Each structure stands twice: as C-alpha cells, then as structure tokens.
Amino acid sequence: MCGIVGYAGYRDSQPILLESLKRLEYRGYDSCGVAISVNSALETAPTIEVHKDVGRVVDMEKNLPCVHGRVGMGHTRWATHGEVSPANAHPHLDCSGRIAVVHNGVIENFQSLRDELSREGHHFSSETDTEVIAHLIENYYSGDLERAVARALAELVGTYAVIVMVAGHEELVVARRESPLIIGVGDKENFVASDVAAVLDYTGSVVYLEDGDIAVVSGESITITNNGDRVQRERQVIPWSVEEAQKGGYEHFMLKEIHEQPKAIENTLKGHISLIEPLIALDVVKDEGLEDVLIVACGTSWHAALIGEYVIGKLCHLPVRVKVASEFNHYDMAMDKTWVWGISQSGETLDTLQAIKKARALGCPTLAITNVPGSSITRIAEQVFYTRSGPEIGVAATKTFMTQLVALYLLAMSFASLDMMVYEGLIEGLRLLPSKVQQVLDEVGKIAQHARELSPYANVFFIGRGLNYPVAMEGALKLKEISYIHAEAYPAGELKHGPFALLGRTTPVVAITTKDDTYEPMLTSIKEIKARGPQVIALAEEGDEDIEQFVDAVIRLPQVDPLFSPFLNSVALQLLAYYTAKERGCPIDLPANLAKSVTVP
C-alpha cells in the first residue's frame, strides 16, 4: 500500500525523491514526507532534514525548501497505526535525530517494544509502529548501521520493507520481510523503491530483494546479506517503458488502461496460440494425480477467479474451488490432491502470498498468475503464468483483470479434452477478442450517456446469472470504488430472497442479459424487478430484439460465443463506472482509502 523511495548517488536527492514518490501515488496514501542527509561532505555537523505533511506530494512540494544532499528517502503513508497527521507521517527519527526510517508493513509487537523502550528513556513523537524501529536501531548503533539494523529487525514480529539512514553517511541500509522492495541500479547512483514504477525515469535495471535480505546501498555499490551471509541477487531488466507508465493524452490512467485492453489481450495470447494451427502452447504443466483446483485471490482478481471457476468446470469437468485469500488462511480443507493457483496483479498481495505459502507447506503444487516479473509470488509458486498486460497505474484494475481472464481461459482450454471442432471454435473466439473489445470501446459515447443517467443515484444493483454473475460483482465493485455510489451485485435469482425489500424508483438495476441458457430466467427476474419500480439498464448483444420491451435502456454489445461474454460485458461496465465517476467529479485514479497493491494484512 504505502510507497517508499530512496536515493544514493552524485545528484541532489530531493527532486529525484519527489518525482519517484509521484510515480507511486497510485498505491494510495494519505500523507507523505522526505528525509535528506545534509552537509555530509562538509566539516559542519551533518544533520537529517525531515519534511512531511498530510495530503498529496504536490502539496508538500509547494512548501518544501530546497534541501541539498546526495542521500535521502521518501514515503507515502496509508494509515494503519495512528490517525492521519504530520506527526504520524514518515520518515521517523530516533531521539538523537540522526537516524531516519521509512517503513511499509505492520509491526505486530510494536506496543510491547514501545513500552520497553519508554521505560529505558526513549520519547516517542508519533502513534506509529514505525517509530519503534528507529529507536531500536538507536539502541544498537555504535558506528555500524548495517549491524544495528540487523539486530533491531531481529526483534520485530510482522512485515516490513524499510530504508534507514544516518546523518553524514553516504549510504542507505534497506531490508524486507513479506513487503516488496527493489533496488534500481544506475551509473554511480542507485535507487530503492517499493515498486519499479518509481525508478523508471532513472534506470531500466533492478534487483528484487527477497525475504530476509539486508542491503547496503551507496552510489558506488550494493551489497546484500541474508542471515549474515553474503548473497547475490540477479539483476533484471524492467519490461516496461516510461511511456507505458504515463497517461499518453488520456484524462485518467484508468481510461487509458481501459482503451489498452485490446492490445493487452493480444500480449497475453502472444506465444500461447499458434498463428497457423489451432493450438495452445503453455509452459504450465499439470501433475498427474491431481483431482481438483483451488484458486485463491483478492478483490478484482477474486472475481476473475470466480469466472475461471465456471470456465474450468465447463471445459475440463474438473472440480474447482475459489477462496478469498484472506479467508483461506483461516480455513481447513482436504487438499491431498489439490492444485493451488494464486492470482495477484502485483504479485505482492500479502493475503495471496500467505495463501500460496500455506499451500506449499501442505505439499500442494502451486501456480501463480501475475503481471509483474520478479514479484514475490513468482519466487514462492512453483510455476508462473505471466499476463503481460504492461504497467497499470489506475487503482481500479481494468486491463489486468482482462488479462487474468485470458490466462484462465487458456489454462482451461489447454487441460480440456474437447471435440476438435469445439476446440478450434474456442481458439478462434480468443483470437477475435481484441477486435470485439475494440467494438465496445468504439461505442463509448453511448455508454457515457447511460452513465450520466446513473450518476445522480445513491444505490445501484447489478445482477447476472451463471458465468456473468461474477461479472456483475466486478461491475458493482468498479462503480463503488471510483464513483462512491453504493453498489451491490446479486445472482438474479437471489433478489427475491431479501434484496427485493430495497427495490424502488431510487434503486436502478444493471442487468447482464447474455443469450445463453440463463437468458429466459434473466427476463423473468427483470419482469419481477420492473414490477417494483426500478429503472433497468440491460447489457445485451446486437440482434436481441426482445430485451427492449422489458427494460428502460440497453447497452448493445457485439455477438460472441456466450463463453466469451464476460470480456465484453466487463469492458462495458468499466466504461459505465468510469463515466459515472467523471460525471460526479470523483478522483478516478486515486479513490479514497484504496491502494493498488495491498501489502498489509
């Protein structure tokens, strides 16, 4: 969630820290700050200057004096311990003011440590768990910062990615446990960040730290140890360009990423579907003897998993279970012959990482579906499927959701025993998806009009059946998270078991009416809804002439095999949410209280 950056090199660190923090704004935050070691090359006593405040980086920047120093760190905080306030914002200092710390994660035993340190005479100026780290390091520091950090971290229970610096030193000490941290490798300068997006302007080469790593980073060198032993971590090339992480003329990142979906689908399919033969080729191998699949995920990735449950069950006749990752970690189930898949856009979703670790501990084979090479999940799972959708900056997932669906369909089709004509038809359906999605995008003006009609309402229901019930869930999530309209999704047949009590003229309903075996039951549900007064907006394919007599408005979509309808329905609902939020004047790329990468429990 929070973002951290650090710099050590030959340039002034302040402008680099500020620009890097801006690159991490999509992670979500409520306060920010920077710390810079000044006078490190002069005879005067070195100091650390800290400036922090609530609100956005650009607001802090307006009031920030010009501070010169070649080593520094910055942070965007998403509050977990203590209210949103300047005092609780990072960086935090020890009592002497010579040691500064920024931290992502949660320290579970901070209160007992804080009580003990207070008895020893330490005075705290914040309510945070992070400040404890600075005071612990102060206790152990006698000139060797790396050693002091190692001793302090050994006392912590919880998760962390930390950057530590001492006034007058030309280096940073960084460490991680279950919270992402990378080192960007430059020429006579090096960068530290919680995400590669922060360093794209400065380098295309990074080192991914692993759990237990402690690194000493200066402008000239990087040394890494783990459990006291020197280790080497492979340098990797970032697969994204700076241009890909910019808006490219669109008003919001979310809109740009919605429009990038045809290309993102192509990228996910590339290398897996032959251009000549009807053939799917995957590197993923299914172990013999496995009897079922368990998929763990959170948020939008969980909705993709629920769609995957339908598709795998239909094509493979293989039992599939889907669990919210955070709940799976508290759940006992028989898993002797279970293949566990974890879906995480960032590859750093803490609950999903913990679920995959639990599966590994139980002896289950594991597969990760992720967008980020080198992310934590790729080092935990035994096999990896990369979705290759490129960087996604908007907090509300769009193209990464779409490519997760492509990955799940490819996996299902590769393990299915299908009639050749059916198989070829499905492959052709996948090949046509980019053009079909583009057709939906070409009708953006009509969808925007429906969004204007939806924008005044305070509550909206979404309904679907079968394969498209999870699509309704994803549509409701998109609307609520960026427009702040309360939205709920239900299986259409479930409305009469309670939610009917809420239906009326002020509760519009968005209905997904795909021409499959759920179509007639959906029409029955819509009739029951209309009898209670709500306006109904239907998503229906071109050529469906029956639907208009039952609803108030229709969003038309291209005809596809019903199995592929979630792709088109999802794009339409993304656009509906986007333009509703725009009509309401909401901060679309930075919705309140949300973060792109959820790395805390």
Handedness of CA 51, 192, 38, 120 (dihedral sign): positive
Report the C-alpha gap between 342 and 382 in whole angstroms.
11
Contact 534, 486 (CB under 8 A): no
Among residues 477, 483, 490, 488, the alpha carbon closest in space to that of 454 is found at: 483
Pairing mode, strands 320-324 and 235-237: unpaired
596 is catalytic: yes
**Residues in Cβ contact with 475 at an 8 Å cutoff, skipping those fewer than 6 apart:** 462, 487, 489, 510, 512, 569, 570, 573, 576, 577
- Active-site residue, selected from the candidate residues 22, 52, 256, 596: 596
86 preceded by cis ω (within 30°)?
no
436 is catalytic: no
Alpha-carbon torsion angle 197, 201, 202, 208, nearest 10: 10
Residue with tokens 């992502």: 104
Contact 36, 64 (CB under 8 A): no
Pairing mode, strands 320-324 and 292-297: parallel
Contact 182, 209 (CB under 8 A): yes
Among residues 4, 505, 26, 495, the alpha carbon closest in space to that of 245 is found at: 26
Q: Which amino acid is at 189?
A: E
Q: In which element (H, E) is residue 529 found?
A: helix 519-530
- Active-site residue, selected from the candidate residues 2, 32, 364, 586: 2
Among residues 266, 585, 277, the alpha carbon closest in space to that of 399 is found at: 266
Phi then psi for residue 344, to 5 deg, are: -150, 120
Within 10 angstroms of residue 154's Cβ, the number of other Cβ atoms is: 9
Contact 53, 31 (CB under 8 A): yes
Q: At 592, is the secondary structure helix, strand, or coil? A: coil
Within 10 angstroms of residue 554's Cβ, the number of other Cβ atoms is: 20
Handedness of CA 505, 510, 515, 519 (dihedral sign): negative
Extract the tokens encoding 293: 């699949």
Report the C-alpha gap between 465 and 517 in whole angstroms.
9
Q: At 73, is the secondary structure helix, strand, or coil? A: strand
Burial zone of 80 (CB within 10 Å; 0-12 exposed, 13-18 middle, 19+ buried): middle
Q: Which residues are catalytic?
A: 2, 596
